[in-house]
Structure 1
Amino acid sequence: MDTTGATVTRRRSWRSRRLDRDHSLGLRLSLATAAAFLVLIPFALLALLVLGAWSPLLRLDASIADAFHGYAQDHPAWVAVMTVWTHVFGPGPLRVAAAAVAVWLFRRGASRLAAWVVVTMIAGGLLGALLKLLVGRDRPDLLEPVARAAGYSFPSGHALNAALAAGVLLLVFLPFARDSRAGRIMLWAAALLVTVVTGLSRIALGVHWTSDVVGGWVLGAAVVAATSAAFATWRSGSGRPSARPLREGVEPELADQRPEGGRA
C-alpha cells in the first residue's frame, strides 16, 4: 500500500486548514499564539539584561530614578498624589475589582468569561511572584527615600497587575461600546491611564527601577494575550464566530445577553 500520497495529503490538509477562511480555527490559533509569543519576547530580553546586569540598562535606570527622586524631594504634593494613586490602584484593589466583575459576569450568565477573568488575574499574579524570586533583583536604595516597599523588584507587581486588570476589564466591557467610537476611545484611554500612571507612581516613589515597571507592563500584556488566545479557542470550538478583541472584546455577545439568561 502506498502511504506516501496519504502522508502528503495529510500534510497539505493540515496546512490548508491553517489558511482556509471557512475553517480557520488553526489559523486563528496560530496567529493568537504568535501574538502572545511576540509580546513575551521583549520581556524575556529585558529579563536577561537585568539578570546580566547590563551596564547601559543600569545606568539608564539609575539616571531616571535620580531624576524622579530629586523632583519628589522638592514637591511633597506630588509624592502625596502618587502615594494615593499607588494604593488605590495597587494589586489588592485591582484584584477585588476583577473579582467583582467576575461575580457580575457569572450572575449574568457568562460563566466562561468570568472564569477567564479569574484565571488571567491569578496566572499573571503567580507568574510575577515566581519571577521576582527567580530574578532576585534589589529595589532602588536612595538617600532620604520618600517611600519604602518590601520584597524583590523585577518585575513590578503594581505595573503587572495594572496591566492585567486594565486589559481584562477593557476586553470585558468593549462589547458595550462596539457601536460607539467615543465609547471605545474612553475605555482604551481609561485602561492606558490606569496602567501607565500606576507604573509611573512606583518610579516616582523610588521603589522600583524603570525596567521593573516596563517588565511588569510587558508581562501583563503577554498574559492577557495568551489567555485571550485560549478563550478564542473555546469560542471557535463551540461554533461561535470569531471576534475582534481590540474592537469588540473577547465575547461580543455579552452586550446582548440578559442577566436572567442561561449561563454561557
Structure 2
Amino acid sequence: MAAETSPLVSWAQLVGQHALALFLAGLLLAVGVTGLACVLLHRRRAGREQHDASARNVAQLLGSYGTGFLLIVGTASLFALLALRLGPGRTMGLADQALADAIGSHTPAAAMGAFSLLTHLGDPIALALLGAVVAIWLWQRRERLLATGWVIALAGNAVLNPLLKQVFARARPLHDLQFPQVEGYSFPSGHTSGALVAYGMLLYVATRMLPPRWHAIAAMAAVAMILTIACSRVFLRVHFASDVAAGILSGLSWLGVCVASLQFVRHRHVTRHAELDDDQ
C-alpha cells in the first residue's frame, strides 16, 4: 500500500526508534526555554516605568482576551483537521501505529517502568485530589474568585474530554506488553488534557500567589509535568501520538478560556473597587 511507505510513516518509524532520547532532549529544551523566557519577562517588567496603571491593565486585559480567542480558533481548527485525518487506512493513522510499534521495540523496560509510574500524576483521581487541596487552600486564603475559577477549569475539562471521546469513538492501541490495557475511547487523551489544564491552572495560581522570584521555577515545573505525562501515554501505548496532540489542543483551548475569563472578572473587580474608593 502506498500509504505504508509514505514519508510520514517512515519518519514515524525513525522517531520511534529514538523516542526516549528525543523525549529527554525535548524536555530539557522546553524546560530551559521556559525558564529563560520567564527570567527575561520578569526583567522586562521590572525595568518598565510604572505609569498609567489603569491603561496598562486595560491593555493586559485586551491582550489576554485576544490571545485566548486566537488560541481557541487556532486549536479548534487544528483539532478538526487532525480528527479528519484519522479514518481507517489514512496515512496519519498508519503513522500512529508505526510510531507505537517502533517505541515498543526500542524503548528499554526500565524507561517503560518509569513512565508507568509518572503517568499516574495525570490520573483523574490524582487531579481530583490536587483540585480539592488547592481549592480548599485558596478558599481559606479568601481567594474566592481564584478558587471558583480553579474548580470550574478542572471540572469543565472533566466533562469536555469524555464528550469529545464519545464523538470520535476511536479505539485505543493494542499491545502485548505487561502493562494492562486501558478501557474507553482514545481520542483525545484525557490524561494529557487533564494534566495541561490542572498544572497550567496551577501555574496561573502560582503567579498570582507566589513572589515573582518563584514564577520561573513554577513554570518550568509545570512544563516538565505536562510534557512527561503527555509523552508517557505514547510510550505506554495506551494512546496514539495524535490522541496526545488532540489532548494538548483541547486542553489549551479550555485553559485559554478559563484564564481569559478570570483575568476579565479580576479586572472588573479591581475597577469596581477603584471607583468605590474614588466616590468615597
Q: Which amino acid aligns with 2:70?
A: A
Q: Deviations over 1:171-225 (max 9, x none)?
A: 0001345532xx3221111111111111111111111100001111121111010
Pair 1:221 & 2:256 matched: no
Gap change, CA 1:88 and 1:234, over 3 Å in 2: closer
Q: Which amino acid aligns with 1:141?
A: L
CA contact under 8 A between 2:57 and 2:267: conserved in structure 1? no
User: Deviation of residue 89 (structure 1)?
Assistant: 3.3
Q: Deviations over 1:11-53 (max 9, x none)?
A: xxxxxxxxx9786698454553333333333223222323x45
1:78 aligns with 111
1:65 aligns with 100
Q: How many Å separate the matches in 2 of 1:136 and 1:22? A: 44
Q: Deviations over 1:52-97 (max 9, x none)?
A: 457221122112101111134xx32222211111123322202211
Q: How many Å separate the matches in 2 of 1:39 and 1:147? A: 32
1:40 aligns with 76
Structure 1 segment 1-264 matched on structure 2, within 5 A: 27-28=62-63, 29-50=65-86, 52-53=87-88, 55-72=90-107, 75-144=108-177, 146-177=179-210, 179-180=212-213, 183-240=214-271
Q: How many Å separate the matches in 2 of 1:198 and 1:22? A: 35
If the length of structure 1 is used for normalisation, what is the TM-score? 0.74
Gap change, CA 1:83 and 1:38, over 3 Å in 2: same
- Secondary structure of 2:270's partner? coil
Q: How many Å separate the matches in 2 of 1:99 and 1:192? A: 22
Higher helix share: 2
Unaligned runs of 5+ in 2: 1-54, 273-280
RMSD (Å), alpha carbons: 2.5
Gap change, CA 1:26 and 1:170, over 3 Å in 2: closer
Aligned length: 217
Q: Deviations over 1:116-173 (max 9, x none)?
A: 0110011111110001011000011234464310000001111111101111100000
Gap change, CA 1:142 and 1:120, over 3 Å in 2: same
User: Deviation of residue 234 (structure 1)?
Assistant: 1.1
Q: How many Å separate the matches in 2 of 1:160 and 1:111? A: 25
CA contact under 8 A between 2:119 and 2:233: conserved in structure 1? yes
If the length of structure 2 is used for normalisation, what is the TM-score? 0.70
Q: How many Å separate the matches in 1 of 2:67 and 2:235? A: 37
- Secondary structure of 2:239's partner? coil
